[in-house]
Amino acid sequence: MKRPAILPNIVTAFSLSCGLFVIFKMSLVQRGAASFDTVLTGVAILILAALLDALDGAIARVMKVESAFGGFFDSLSDAVTFG
């Protein structure tokens, strides 16, 4: 019986959440309402999103739970987070 591919998708969802948060933070910069700390926080979270992006596929391969949905979800997350 095949195990559900939940853990890699949770990591991908967290990466997507980081990307959406960075988009919000950077929108504050464009309005002039952001400080250097806001930009630094956004960059740090973007780096976290990149690390999570590298980790989700590795987890799926190690657990042998790769799926078509997981691949699609990862691609969607990459498009939103990294453009």
> CA-to-CA distance for 5 and 31, rounded, in angstroms?
40
Give domain limits for the chain: 7-70
Place of tokens 């095949």: 2
Percent of the chain with pLDDT over 90: 52
Cβ contact 11:55 at 8 Å: yes
pLDDT in tens, 14-47: 999 999 999 988 887 766 666 788 888 989 999 9
What local confidence, expressed as pLDDT, does residue 34 receive?
A: 67
User: What is the average pLDDT value for the chain, to the nearest integer?
Assistant: 87
> CA-to-CA distance for 31 and 66, rounded, in angstroms?
41
pTM listed for this prediction = 0.84
What local confidence, expressed as pLDDT, does residue 1 receive?
A: 53
